[in-house]
Chain A
Amino acid sequence: MNAPAKRIGDVLLKVENISLSFGAVKAINDVSFEINEHEILAIIGPNGAGKSSMLNCINGFYHPQEGTVTYKGIKRHDVDPHDAAARGIARTFQNIALFKGMTTLDNIMTGRNLKMTRGLFWQALWAGPAVAEEMAHRRKVEDIIDFLEIQSVRKVPVGRLPYGLQKRVELGRALAAEPTLLLLDEPMAGMNLEEKQDMCRFILDVNDEFGTTICLIEHDMGVVMDISDRVVVLDYGRKIADGTPDAVRKDQTVIDAYLGVQH
């Protein structure tokens, strides 16, 4: 059963001439690329190429010295993280940023905080609208728990979960915000083969079922070539390739970058 060709929409996010430096270190050097709706874009490149910094610029955690980020048609020089989250950008982190003091369920529920608005008064009484809101959101989170097949660890503090499961919970928290753009920072780092296959299935299902646009950073070439529609290659903070996985694989500059040919 081959899936029908995916309907790639128009431009969702446009990154123009972004340059970011920490003091003398130029992390990103004049990089531009676009992400279209319902697309899975992979950002690859050797360590220190500026991949994570790029994600941080997109969701406003770092403010680049030059360049702009246009998301859903609104051009921003300095993206505000809260505003980015409110307008549908969610992300996971390279080394897991879960809330250790809470259970899996609470962590994912926290992902929905933007959608929960009941004030202090109703919360204090735990009555009427506050309870109704909490139950409705709990039901949505249960869909995600069912989708990621983590029912059995629902009430376990995340600190006690194995690494692979923590990665899934973090993906669950990002999904809870029902994002239109999902940024994944090395979702499969440190996973064994089986866990990697599961995570690939989840990413494809998210893209397929919810239509979420996905931008992921990944080192495993097999994974990148399998699941991504387009690939952007960074090296020393510069964009050296941008195209379909096959085209990028044959691109000589990319091969040199990975084989470490001196610039």
Chain B
Amino acid sequence: MLYREAGQFKTNYQSDQQVFPITQDRWSVLAIVVAAFTLVPYFASDYLIISILNPFLILAIAAIGLNFLVGYCGQISLGSGAFMAIGAYAAYNFATRVPGLNLLIIFILAGGTSALVGILFGIPSLRIKGFYLAVATLAAQFLFEWMFLRVKWFTNYSPSGSVVAPPLEIFGLSITTPGAKYYLVLSIAVVVALIAKNLTRGHIGRSWMAIRDMDIAAEIIGIRPLQAKLSAFAVSSFFIGIAGALWAFVFLGSWEPLAFDINRSFQLLFMIIIGGLGSILGCFLGAAFIMILPIFLNQAPALFGIRLSTETVSHLEFIIFGVLIVFFLIAEPHGLARLWSIGKEKLRIWPFPH
């Protein structure tokens, strides 16, 4: 209905293979990004930014990272919580042990460390597949959870194992107000989404998807499984690491290993399942869904005037979560992203049926 595609023809391959070939899509995404940078910080309350928008963006970055591995390369990973933790503690150590480093460099180094560890834990994926691989990543999860608790060097010998993020400042600007934090996280999220889109539409992305769809055929036409899987693990862990650093520095402020436990891994996995495996948009939709649902559940009873004890609310949260996961897997295994693209398809051939 909103699309006017007549007359949008392509005269070169670059415009034919761009991220948003249809003008209406390009303009609407541009509008959203501009609004996110201008209107949202102006109108949104501090509470909304601090407790919803910032975590949503950071988790979206982590979801993009995990989607590289699970959605695009088909390697199941239950260890994303640990990789976030590596990002957080690497950033912490770089910040404290190497003073004067620019914040962005710290994040990139944190991502790099996480990527290296990711490659290490990617090696088993060459011989084992499916659930067995899930166990290898689970081993990473527990190993690092234990390591950050027990090996004091990482936490700079703080007694309780919890650490405090250093004051954030970048190019001389101190980042303390919610607005500043929001801008930092938003700009990183936009850059990450763009990089993700570029990686998945090039030949690297295709080799990942080939491994995911039929790894035997991929190997025979010349794709090195070693290179493809390890690059997926590296890129995935890199972005999850950055998300971990952001989560610790910007959102939590001070944290201990428990903040990155197995439930975080499950949460990220749910985000990309519900959001849509193999879709960058799916990461944002999934992150938004998983963030907003618990908040909605807490507010909802109040709306209908029934008072519920916090305990029952948290149980209710579990129940509804469980039901929704199963519902989505039955209704649309490809998640919100597929529903979104079907909706878009309907609009494009409106008024005719899909």
Contacts and interface: CB of A to CB of B under 8 A. Distances in A.
B222 A113 contact: yes
Residue from A101, A112, A174 having most chain B Cβ neighbours under 10 A = A101
A38 interface: no
A139 to B, nearest CB: 7
B39 to A, nearest CB: 28
Binding site secondary structure of chain A: helix
A160 interface: no
Contact of B221 (A100, A125, A177): A177
Interface stretch (B176-184, B196-204, B317-325): B196-204
Contacts of B223: 110, 113
Contacts of B198: 123-126
A257 interface: no
B220 A101 contact: no
Interface residues of A, number: 40
Interface stretch (B93-101, B134-142, B208-216, B258-266): B208-216
A93 interface: yes
Interface stretch (A23-31, A43-51, A83-91, A190-198): A83-91
Contact of B217 (A97, A130, A133, A177): A97
B206 A90 contact: no
A131 B222 contact: no
A99 interface: yes
Given A82-B222, A85-B221, A113-B221, A97 B202 contact: no
B214 A110 contact: no
Contacts of A81: 219-220
A152 B343 CA distance: 24
Contacts of B219: 81-82
Contacts of B13: 134-135, 138-139
Contact of A59 (B214, B220, B231): B220
A106 B206 contact: yes
B195 interface: yes
Which residue, B201, B203, B217, B231, has most C-beta atoms of chain A within 10 A? Answer: B203
A212 B214 CA distance: 26
A204 interface: no
Given A101-B278, A123-B199, A113 B220 contact: no
Given A106-B209, A113-B206, A113-B223, A99 B217 contact: yes
B235 interface: yes
Contact of B203 (A61, A86, A113): A113
B54 interface: no
Given A126-B202, A135-B13, A113 B207 contact: yes
A126 B201 CA distance: 9
A221 interface: no
A118 interface: yes
Interface of A: 59, 61, 81-82, 85-86, 90-91, 93, 97-102, 106, 109-114, 116, 118, 120, 123-126, 130-131, 133-135, 137-139, 173-174, 177
Given A113-B207, A137-B203, A177-B221, 12 more contacts: A82-B224, A90-B221, A91-B220, A97-B216, A110-B210, A113-B221, A114-B221, A120-B235, A130-B202, A138-B17, A174-B221, A177-B222
Give me the 3 closest cross-chain CB pairs, A-B, nearest first.
Answer: A85-B222, A97-B217, A126-B198
19 contacts: A59-B220, A86-B222, A106-B206, A110-B203, A110-B223, A111-B221, A113-B206, A114-B221, A118-B203, A123-B203, A124-B195, A124-B198, A124-B199, A125-B198, A130-B202, A131-B14, A135-B12, A174-B221, A177-B221
